[in-house]
Each structure stands twice: as C-alpha cells, then as structure tokens.
C-alpha cells in the first residue's frame, strides 16, 4: 500500500505520463447509409469498450471527448450514453466538437470497461452532410486532477494517508510485542504455580516450619554483617 501511494504521488508531477487511448466512430459512412450525398439512417449499436488496468492509490477518471469534422448540422439533439459498473451513466451530446464528459468508477478506481449506447431516439431520423465525421476519443484512467492546485491537494491527502498508515502499523507492532510479553509472563506464572504446589515443595515447606524453633534458638539475635553483628554474638548454651 505504501509503495502504491508513493509511486502514485510521483506520477502526479510527471508531464510525460502516457495513458491508454481509444477512438470509436459515432457518425461516419460505416454507421450510416450514404445516399444522395447525405448520411441517413445512422445507427449507434450498443458496444462494450475495455482496457487493461492496474491497481493504484490515486483517484482516476476516464475522459470521453467528441471530435467533429465536416458539416454535421442537424436539427436533432443526438447524444450517446456511457456507463460503467458502480457509477451513474454520463451523456455526451457529440454534435458539439471537443465536448467532454468523464467516467469515474466507485472510489476513484480504474475503469476497465464501459458500455456505449445511443441515448437519442432521433439518430435514425437525422440527415447529415456526407462530409460529417464524428469520432469518440477515449482517454482511459487519467489521474483525476485538472490543475496544479488539485494535484498538490491530492499529494497532501496522500501524505496524510501515509502518515496515518505508518502510525497504525507502529501501533500494531507495539500491540504484537505486548501480546508476546503477556504470553511469556502468563506461561512463567503458570510454571511458578505448578512448582510451588508440587509434592516436593510441600515437603520442603513442612520441614522449614518444623525447623523454625531450632533456627530461632540457635540465632537469638539478628544475623547481620559488620562489627556490631560480631560483637552481639554469644555462645550458645551447652
């Protein structure tokens, strides 16, 4: 996780990062019937577009942009619908040149596939000039920032996540050490209890109680080191 975040932080400031791109025809002779120098009865069948993805810690977006050339004037409001799992659909009015919409998967995860379909009932009715060409430009899984300020804010948020993850890891390590120390002390206490309650220890304790009066008689004064201790000794009566 830390490597993913650190690597993603670096990519925010690399200007030459390359992203996957696709192009798909929306209006062309391949999608329409060419009759009397006009494009008629255009069809936009549902299709699924896919791309390989990799795990990342930064939020991503996929940008869909219409690229219009030639004369595409028509009275009908044509648009396409794009939808990916875990996100609401987006609608692209593709007659507008360079019109952009963005797909964002849940949690900023990479978009591995989306479904493209016709969102207008007027598409077969539109009559377009034969020069009309409209293409969908797909820019897969770009970092979801649009300015230096947004990039800096994202880096700050990622650094905060790193600090929180490191603090959590340190705390977990301390708890693991405590658990090991507790297990050791619990085992040691159990061993002491067993040793203190076995038969040999009970016999030794009884012998010590029996020898208590004799020990008190043979050493009536406190047995201490030093001159005072030696001066205080007296010979036991015979």
Per-residue pLDDT of the chain (238 residues; tens, 9 = 90+): 433 444 444 444 433 344 689 999 999 999 999 999 999 999 999 999 999 988 887 889 999 999 999 999 999 999 999 999 989 999 999 999 999 999 999 888 999 999 999 999 999 999 999 999 999 999 999 988 876 776 676 667 767 777 777 788 888 888 888 888 888 888 878 877 777 777 777 777 777 777 777 666 666 555 555 544 444 445 545 4
How far apart are the two ends of the chain, measured CA to CA in Å?
85
Backbone angles phi, psi at 190, to 5 degrees: -65, -40
User: Does the CA dihedral 46-49-55-56 come out positive or negative?
Assistant: negative
Nearest to 29 by CA among 137, 100, 135: 135
Please report the pLDDT score of residue 9 as a whole number. Answer: 45
The DSSP code sequence of 193-230 is HHHHTSHHHHHHHHHHHHHHHHHHHH--S---SSHHHH
Task: List beta partners, residue 103.
Answer: 62
Please report the pLDDT score of residue 75 as a whole number. Answer: 93
Please report the pLDDT score of residue 10 as a whole number. Answer: 43
Please report the pLDDT score of residue 199 as a whole number. Answer: 75
Query: Using an 8 Å Cβ cutoff, are 38 and 132 in contact?
Result: no
DSSP E strand boundaries for the chain = 21-27, 33-35, 38-40, 47-50, 60-69, 80-83, 90-92, 100-103, 113-118, 128-129, 133-143
Please report the pLDDT score of residue 184 as a whole number. Answer: 83
Query: Using an 8 Å Cβ cutoff, are 61 and 144 in contact?
Result: yes
What would the two tokens of residue 4 be? Answer: 């993913």
């Amino acid at each position: 996780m830390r490597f993913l975040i650190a690597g993603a932080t670096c990519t925010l400031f690399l200007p030459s990062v390359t992203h996957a791109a696709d192009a798909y025809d929306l209006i062309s002779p391949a999608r329409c019937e060419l009759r009397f120098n006009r494009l008629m009865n255009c069809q936009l069948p549902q299709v699924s577009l896919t791309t390989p993805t990799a795990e990342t810690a930064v939020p991503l977006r996929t940008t869909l942009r219409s690229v219009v050339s030639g004369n595409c004037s028509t009275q009908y409001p044509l648009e396409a619908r794009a939808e990916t799992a875990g996100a609401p659909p987006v609608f692209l009015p593709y007659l507008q040149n360079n019109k952009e919409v963005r797909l964002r998967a849940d949690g900023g995860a990479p978009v591995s596939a989306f479904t493209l379909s016709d969102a207008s009932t007027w598409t077969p009715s539109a009559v377009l000039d034969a020069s009309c060409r409209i293409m969908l430009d797909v820019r897969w899984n770009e970092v979801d920032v649009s300015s230096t300020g947004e990039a800096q804010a994202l880096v700050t948020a990622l650094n905060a996540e790193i600090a929180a993850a490191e603090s959590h890891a340190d705390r977990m390590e301390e708890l693991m050490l405590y658990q090991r120390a507790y297990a050791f002390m619990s085992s040691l206490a159990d061993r002491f209890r067993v040793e203190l309650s076995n038969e040999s220890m009970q016999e030794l304790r009884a012998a010590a109680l029996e020898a208590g009066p004799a020990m008190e008689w043979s050493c009536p004064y406190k047995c201490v080191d030093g001159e005072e201790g030696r001066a205080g000794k007296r010979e036991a009566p015979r």
